[in-house]
Structure 1
């Protein structure tokens, strides 16, 4: 049994062009994620599907179409689905217990949004002692505005991936992963 898990973070309809919070490059990121999942499943890696819900509000509303995992990366068979209410996929969920029970030592993180839940989950996984890899071209984000300045999605993504690569594990491409 593999000691590696792929964490598919928030690849939900809300982030597609028909959702309430569309991300730049989500279709390409999802296509890469699908390739990663096919490879990981063939290798016997654990695939953990993580979905965000906000109990109140207009985004990721429980039971809504937007809160559903997108068909491109939908869970297969009895793959676990973890529902979370925070950016960090480990916070107040069964994720850590699930990984421990399965003997996981290494996690790969893919999904959305690069600057929020991917970032928080990757950092938490590293802090919990997992060998952590983020697959940069299987993640997507959006423009971020702060204090009157807008940072384009490509800059936001590059900044987060650079920060993760600096101290929180490896950051690689889909092609590099598929060579494993």
Structure 2
């Protein structure tokens, strides 16, 4: 897991807090398939979810899976068909994340949560203008979703402590890219401080 404090100091070049009235939390792919990567950030994920719920920010979970080779796309080639198959235990969301009845789950079969899912329309219809990104993997599904959100006109907040990937180098490379061109960096402490002044 990455050391978010060092990442924060190096790349935190713009400062802003999400507006709970127009924000949503996107929890990306916290599934059993990614449990080795995801377990170390579970405390930060749970804190981030609880903080958002405490100020009535909706929480949306994404779940990545494939139903058949027809929907593998380039991922099949890239990962030699070692993919998350729908209906398997690996495809299920980790029970530790605290999914509640009524929480929306967006089903996807590629890195980004905005492609072919109806998520952009869903958020726009509800007046959402900002997205907070947490989950796994920092440099794949989280980063792609953040970029898609940004180019779709949403203000993006990217968690440094509630995202994770396979190496610190990859994690920090994404944080650097996000801070430079796509997202405000936040962590659970900043969210707590920002929400406490509301």
Unmatched segments (≥5 aa) in structure 1:
18-22, 143-152
4+ residue stretches of structure 1 with deviation over 6 A?
none
Query: C-alpha separation between the residues in 2 aligned to 1:157 and 1:58?
Result: 22
* Equivalent residue for 2:141, pick from 113, 117, 134: 117
Cα offset for 1:58?
Answer: 4.3
Q: Normalising by the residue count of structure 2, what TM-score does the alignment of the two structures yield?
A: 0.79
Tell me which residue corresponds to 2:41.
Answer: 29
Root-mean-square deviation over aligned CA pairs: 1.3
Query: C-alpha separation between the residues in 2 aligned to 1:175 and 1:82?
Result: 27
Tell me which residue corresponds to 2:30.
Answer: 11
Q: Normalising by the residue count of structure 1, what TM-score does the alignment of the two structures yield?
A: 0.86
Cα offset for 1:77?
Answer: 2.0
Tell me which residue corresponds to 2:150.
Answer: 126
Give the match's secondary structure for 1:108: strand
Q: Which has the higher contact order (CA 8 A, sep 6+)?
A: 2
Answer whether contact 1:41 1:47 (CA < 8 A) is retained: yes
**Mapping of residues 136-155 of structure 1, within 5 Å:** 136-142=160-166, 153-155=167-169
Unmatched segments (≥5 aa) in structure 2:
1-19, 69-80
Answer whether contact 1:13 1:67 (CA < 8 A) is retained: yes
Cα offset for 1:3?
Answer: 1.1
Tell me which residue corresponds to 1:177.
Answer: 191
Tell me which residue corresponds to 2:57.
Answer: 45
Greater fraction strand:
1
Give the match's secondary structure for 1:66: helix
Tell me which residue corresponds to 2:132.
Answer: 108
Cα offset for 1:177?
Answer: 1.2
Query: C-alpha separation between the residues in 2 aligned to 1:16 and 1:88?
Result: 20
Post-superposition CA distance 1:126-178 (Å, at most 9, x none): 11111100011101101xxxxxxxxxx00110011110010101012221112
Query: C-alpha separation between the residues in 2 aligned to 1:168 and 1:84?
Result: 22
